[in-house]
A and B are shown apart, each in its own frame.
Chain A
Amino acid sequence: MKRNFVISIFIILASINVKGQDKLQVNGSLMLNTGLYQYDSSLNTTNSQYLHQLSSAEAWFTINANYDGFYTTVRYDLFENSQLINPNEDYTAQGLNFFSVTKSIGNFTFTGGNFYDQIGSGILFRAYEERTLGLDYAMQGIRIIYKLNDSTSVKVFGGNQKNRFAVTPQFIRCAEIDHLWGIGKVGFNTGAGFMNRTLDDATVQQLITDINNLPLSARFNPVYNVYAGTFYNTAIWKNFNWYVEGAAKSKEAVFITNPTTDSGELVNKNGYVIYSALGYSRSGLGINLQYRKIDNFILRVNPYDNLLVGVMDYLPALSKQDAYRLPARYSISALPQGESAYQGEITYSFDTKNNINFNTSQVFDPTGNLLFREYYADYTKKFNPAVKMVTGLNSVIYDQSVYESEPTDPTVHTITPFTEWTIRLGKSLRKSIQFEAQYLFTRQDVGDFAYLEAEYDLAPKFTFTLLDMYNDRPVLPNAPKLHYPGIFTSYTVNQTVISIGYTKQPEGIICTGGICRVEPAFSGLKATLNTNF
């Protein structure tokens, strides 16, 4: 059916006469990843890709067409022996995985097919894609947006969340109203949202069976429907902006981790989130403070889903997204079962050549135990147009037993100094060399790491990168001191970037936009191609 729909769209587009062809706009993109796997016993790389398939690939080919107000998107996805979605499997599938048509008529905008959207900041509901993590939470359904006037809009949509090339059987409905207004010099963006998810019969039947196996005192009636609402407001006054959002959900069957026994439990719980962000910015100074409290705000299409499967909302970690490899080694994700998190950041520019950045974040569990704390500071200096330096220090306390579900692991304490130098070469300054040096001190987990990277950039076409991450002081006695080298090159021609490299990397956490997952160890060749047309 999807195939016929897409063919119909293209027949319509192809039948456009010469007069109309100048209104047709087509663009697209291709993203391709491929890997060749080399078995390495020191990394314990025993996935089937290393033992059997020896290669993998992922590709996303997107075409957007716009004609006379009809906006159409189709995307063809390919996965071959991929471990992107699930690091423990070799997933192979391909086909049309995204299609949508959008048309605006007057104040209405209609969308049918797949779409990405969110309510408020995403706390209540967010359908999004993050390819680096193998996430695609696209909706498949109908969306209607109505603009009452220039400052007020209403949005409703309903459908099913995608799960790879299929859709989940649970139905989701959302509505949102958003209004811009002001009092004097204070501007407001106020909104409210609503979400309802209905379970399917099969899931409820499974819940009934599991509930009937609980002790009598723990039993409850599982509901088909969960209802959730949110209210948000942004206030802007001079250099200040203040965002507040509060969301709550009704009781439903969810699986939680019992904090005493550390085992999974099926319970009937409601939940809420309170989030606020206060910011101040003026020339040379930026201050940002954030607070968020989560209490049992677990929103999934199916209570039996786990990890990153079936997530309906967007709760990014309230911590700094570190760009440098070693400071980012112990990154966290938000805990929907419960946490209180604080983050503060100050950026100050003394002048055009000197600025500092300080960031701290702290996360506590519902009983007040510290789960995560980070202090980060860096200093950027531009010596001259050709030389720039960034130097900084990062310190982390990371409860590995909670964030990596390893109950016996001790809390990790790290101190990581780092520095980065960029030196532009030549009269045109189009060539540059970049050096990075980092050292992570810790006596927990696998011990100290050193990291060195050198990159030679021949803009606009070539870059060459050499790097090495070295386990300098392992914690375990007699553990080998392993190197994790990498050599990369990339070539850019017009809108196309091709990169290829050989690398070894240890198992770790990869985070994008505050959402994290475990990345398995890798050894082998990686090649990517990204292009737009």
Chain B
Amino acid sequence: MFFYLLPVLLVVGACKEQFTGVNFNPPPAGEQLYIDSSYQAAVPKQESKMVLLEDFTGLSCVNCPYADDEDSVLRAQYPNQIVSICEHTVIGSLSNPYPGYGALSDSDALVNYNLFGNQGSLPYGAIDRTIFSGQDTILQLYGAWGGFMSTEVTLTPPMNVDIVNQIYDTTSGKLTATIQVTYTSIMNEYNYISAAITEDSIIDPQKNFTGWVLKYVHQHVLRKFIFPVTGLQLETSGSHSPGNIYSPGNTYLVKFNTYINKKEWKPAHCNIVAFVHEETGRKLKVLQATISHLKL
């Protein structure tokens, strides 16, 4: 029997894993998200919960406009409580642009789509990157968004997140900003911060069931995630009780430098999105999000 096992072992040994997810590329020149400082501050008043809605979509995805509509309905139902990112994802031909027009897909969107449990089709959405009760994946069909959103907006976030001190150089396109994170509750697991640039009002053809809509208005389109895509860990700092990683009053000033692509984007339509999230196995939950229009 040993000799029957031997070729099995050889085959197993010869198989190689395919790797994905780790970024070996240096950050683009001048791009970086980093912790500038941390300190202990007075515990501030708790801000309202802002839910992150990530809509994975594609230009040739005929159902995707319905997901856009659902996003608009929810934003009207919960004003100033939803931060939306439309992440154009390369899934087969669903991301193909109209002939002669440019694509909106971003490679970071595919990284996230795979991380959240690739469903192989579009549209799918992630609400605060949460696996809700009774579900086994982060990604949900747009018909279910409303139900999950109704509970998510009622949560009390354990920190305030604000974007401050934006400086944008209109000549070079360099953007520098600070994200201030101040904890209002105890947290016992490490948190991460991510930041992205989105753009509103992009006119680009979109396919639906009747054909191509040539002047479709795309909102909240992901232009880039600030490096690193999977988030920067907020190292323990400041005063905290034994056993806690973060305590009320712990404050982090997270800075980033990035460049706005003035040739292809309209800076006046750009936004900075920032959010704090967990990273514990499958639990990637977003705890609080914020958005700020790019100040020219």
Contact surface of A with B, Cβ cutoff 8 Å: 146, 148, 154, 156, 175, 177, 194, 196, 201-206, 208-213, 216, 219-225, 227
Contact of B17 among A194, A209, A213, A225 (CB under 8 A): A225
Does B280 contact A221, Cβ atoms closer than 8 Å? no
Interface bits B221-254 vs A (CB < 8 Å: 1, else 0)? 0000000111111000000000000000000000
Q: List 29 A-B contacts (CB under 8 A).
A: A146-B1, A154-B1, A156-B5, A177-B2, A194-B9, A196-B12, A203-B281, A205-B21, A205-B282, A205-B284, A206-B279, A208-B115, A209-B192, A209-B231, A209-B279, A211-B22, A212-B21, A212-B23, A212-B228, A213-B228, A213-B230, A219-B22, A219-B23, A220-B22, A221-B19, A224-B17, A225-B17, A227-B12, A227-B13
Given contacts A175-B5, A196-B12, A227-B13, is CB(A208)–CB(B21) below 8 Å? yes
Interface bits B177-218 vs A (CB < 8 Å: 1, else 0)? 000000000000000100000000000000000000000000
Interface bits B8-39 vs A (CB < 8 Å: 1, else 0)? 01001100010101111010000000000000
CB of B275 to closest CB in A, whole Å: 15
Please indicate the chain A residues that have their CB under 8 angstroms from the CB of B13 in the complex. 227
Contact of A208 among B5, B17, B22 (CB under 8 A): B22
Does A213 contact B2, Cβ atoms closer than 8 Å? no
| Majority secondary structure of chain B interface residues (helix, strand, loop or mixed) | loop
Shortest Cβ distance from A148 into B: residue: B1
Please indicate the chain A residues that have their CB under 8 angstroms from the CB of B5 in the complex. 154, 156, 175
Please indicate the chain B residues that have their CB under 8 angstroms from the CB of A156 in the complex. 5
Interface bits B69-97 vs A (CB < 8 Å: 1, else 0)? 00000000000000000000000000000
In the complex, what distance in Å separates the CA atom of A97 from the CA atom of B1? Answer: 34
In the complex, what distance in Å separates the CA atom of A227 from the CA atom of B16? Answer: 12
Please indicate the chain A residues that have their CB under 8 angstroms from the CB of B279 in the complex. 206, 209-210
Shortest Cβ distance from B233 into A: residue: A213
Contact surface of B with A, Cβ cutoff 8 Å: 1-2, 5, 9, 12-13, 17, 19, 21-24, 26, 115, 192, 228-233, 279-282, 284
Shortest Cβ distance from B231 into A: residue: A209
Does A201 contact B282, Cβ atoms closer than 8 Å? yes
Please indicate the chain B residues that have their CB under 8 angstroms from the CB of A202 in the complex. 281-282
Please indicate the chain A residues that have their CB under 8 angstroms from the CB of B12 in the complex. 196, 227
Does A216 contact B228, Cβ atoms closer than 8 Å? no
Does A221 contact B22, Cβ atoms closer than 8 Å? yes
CB of A317 to closest CB in B, whole Å: 30
Given contacts A146-B1, A196-B12, A224-B17, is CB(A208)–CB(B282) below 8 Å? no
CB of A97 to closest CB in B, whole Å: 24
Shortest Cβ distance from A250 into B: residue: B13
Shortest Cβ distance from A88 into B: residue: B243
Shortest Cβ distance from A205 into B: residue: B115
Please indicate the chain A residues that have their CB under 8 angstroms from the CB of B281 in the complex. 202-203, 205-206
Given contacts A205-B282, A219-B24, A220-B22, is CB(A213)–CB(B232) below 8 Å? yes
Shortest Cβ distance from A194 into B: residue: B9
Q: A208-B115, A223-B17 are in contact. List 13 more A-B contacts (CB 8 A).
A: A196-B12, A205-B115, A205-B281, A205-B282, A205-B284, A206-B281, A209-B192, A212-B228, A213-B231, A216-B24, A219-B22, A222-B22, A227-B12
Closest 5 CB pairs of A and B: A202-B281, A221-B19, A202-B282, A208-B21, A209-B230
In the complex, what distance in Å separates the CA atom of A213 from the CA atom of B229? Answer: 10
CB of B13 to closest CB in A, whole Å: 7
Please indicate the chain B residues that have their CB under 8 angstroms from the CB of A211 in the complex. 22
Shortest Cβ distance from A203 into B: residue: B281
In the complex, what distance in Å separates the CA atom of A356 from the CA atom of B22? Answer: 60
Shortest Cβ distance from A222 into B: residue: B22
Shortest Cβ distance from A154 into B: residue: B1
In the complex, what distance in Å separates the CA atom of A202 from the CA atom of B283? Answer: 8
Please indicate the chain A residues that have their CB under 8 angstroms from the CB of B21 in the complex. 204-205, 208, 212
Please indicate the chain A residues that have their CB under 8 angstroms from the CB of B115 in the complex. 205, 208
In the complex, what distance in Å separates the CA atom of A222 from the CA atom of B24? Answer: 13
In the complex, what distance in Å separates the CA atom of A211 from the CA atom of B229? Answer: 12
In the complex, what distance in Å separates the CA atom of A196 from the CA atom of B115? Answer: 25
Shortest Cβ distance from A213 into B: residue: B233
CB of B277 to closest CB in A, whole Å: 10
CB of B44 to closest CB in A, whole Å: 27
Contact of A216 among B26, B230, B280, B282 (CB under 8 A): B26
Shortest Cβ distance from A214 into B: residue: B22
In the complex, what distance in Å separates the CA atom of A219 from the CA atom of B21? Answer: 11
In the complex, what distance in Å separates the CA atom of A149 from the CA atom of B284? Answer: 53
Please indicate the chain A residues that have their CB under 8 angstroms from the CB of B231 in the complex. 209, 213
In the complex, what distance in Å separates the CA atom of A206 from the CA atom of B231? Answer: 11
Shortest Cβ distance from B5 into A: residue: A175
The CB with the most chain B CB atoms within 10 A, among A154, A196, A203, A209, is that of A209
In the complex, what distance in Å separates the CA atom of A203 from the CA atom of B283? Answer: 10
Does A212 contact B26, Cβ atoms closer than 8 Å? no
Does A206 contact B232, Cβ atoms closer than 8 Å? no
In the complex, what distance in Å separates the CA atom of A221 from the CA atom of B9? Answer: 23
Does A212 contact B1, Cβ atoms closer than 8 Å? no
Please indicate the chain B residues that have their CB under 8 angstroms from the CB of A205 in the complex. 21, 115, 281-282, 284
Shortest Cβ distance from B26 into A: residue: A216
Shortest Cβ distance from A200 into B: residue: B281
In the complex, what distance in Å separates the CA atom of A177 from the CA atom of B2? Answer: 7
In the complex, what distance in Å separates the CA atom of A220 from the CA atom of B23? Answer: 9
CB of A220 to closest CB in B, whole Å: 7
Shortest Cβ distance from A192 into B: residue: B2
Please indicate the chain B residues that have their CB under 8 angstroms from the CB of A224 in the complex. 17
Shortest Cβ distance from A179 into B: residue: B2
Does A212 contact B229, Cβ atoms closer than 8 Å? yes
CB of A203 to closest CB in B, whole Å: 6
Does B230 contact A212, Cβ atoms closer than 8 Å? yes
Please indicate the chain B residues that have their CB under 8 angstroms from the CB of A209 in the complex. 192, 230-231, 279
The CB with the most chain B CB atoms within 10 A, among A206, A225, A227, is that of A206
In the complex, what distance in Å separates the CA atom of A209 from the CA atom of B234? Answer: 13
In the complex, what distance in Å separates the CA atom of A209 from the CA atom of B279? Answer: 8
Please indicate the chain B residues that have their CB under 8 angstroms from the CB of A219 in the complex. 22-24
Shortest Cβ distance from B13 into A: residue: A227
Please indicate the chain A residues that have their CB under 8 angstroms from the CB of B282 in the complex. 201-202, 205
Contact of B230 among A177, A208, A223 (CB under 8 A): A208
CB of A230 to closest CB in B, whole Å: 13
In the complex, what distance in Å separates the CA atom of A285 from the CA atom of B92? Answer: 76
Does B22 contact A212, Cβ atoms closer than 8 Å? yes
The CB with the most chain B CB atoms within 10 A, among A146, A148, A221, A222, is that of A221
CB of A353 to closest CB in B, whole Å: 52
In the complex, what distance in Å separates the CA atom of A203 from the CA atom of B282? Answer: 8
Please indicate the chain B residues that have their CB under 8 angstroms from the CB of A213 in the complex. 228, 230-233
In the complex, what distance in Å separates the CA atom of A209 from the CA atom of B232? Answer: 9
